[in-house]
Amino acid sequence: MPGTTETAAAEQSLAAQISNLVVQLLHTYTGRGPTKAWTSIESDLVTVVLRDALTKGEQHLVSDDREQLVLEMRHAFQHRMRHDLIQGVERLTGRTVAAFLSSNHLDPDIAIENFVLEPHGAAGSA
């Protein structure tokens, strides 16, 4: 199909840009970025999956059974980064973020950043 490859390449490029944005912001705020990141874009949902993002200090706290403290710290970082993450995704996608949801899992070390975008033509939707 003509145009399909071009569309897929453009989406991959946007996904890579969003992954890079999130990794860079995490590095800026926590002093360490994840070792792996990938972004999925489907309709009005952008999901960024991050692996191996915990700092050495957080890893030590987890091994000392202080998981709840690490989760609370990560939640605080996500709350603090929220504006920058949303602003970056809006700039890259050209769309408004309606909702931002973020969560961490400690073992294995995986985080997910979700951005729900306003639907195209939301103002005229019934």
CATH assignment at residue 66: 3.30.980
125 within a domain of the structure (yes/no): no
Q: Are 106 and 46 in contact (CB under 8 A)?
A: no
The answer to whether position 126 is within a domain reads no
Give dist(CA 49, CA 34) in Å, integer.
10
H helical segments located in the chain: 4-30, 56-63, 67-93
In the three-class reduction of DSSP (H, G, I as helix; E, B as strand; rest coil), residue 116 is classed as strand
The total number of residues written for the chain in this structure: 126
Residue 123 lies in a domain: no
What does the pLDDT profile of the chain (126 residues) look like in tens digits? 555 555 555 556 899 999 999 999 999 999 999 999 999 999 999 999 999 999 999 999 999 999 999 999 999 999 999 999 999 999 999 999 999 999 999 999 999 999 999 998 765 333
C-alpha to C-alpha distance for 7 and 59, rounded to whole angstroms: 40
Q: Which residues constitute the domain of residue 59?
A: 4-118
Q: How many domains does the chain have?
A: 1
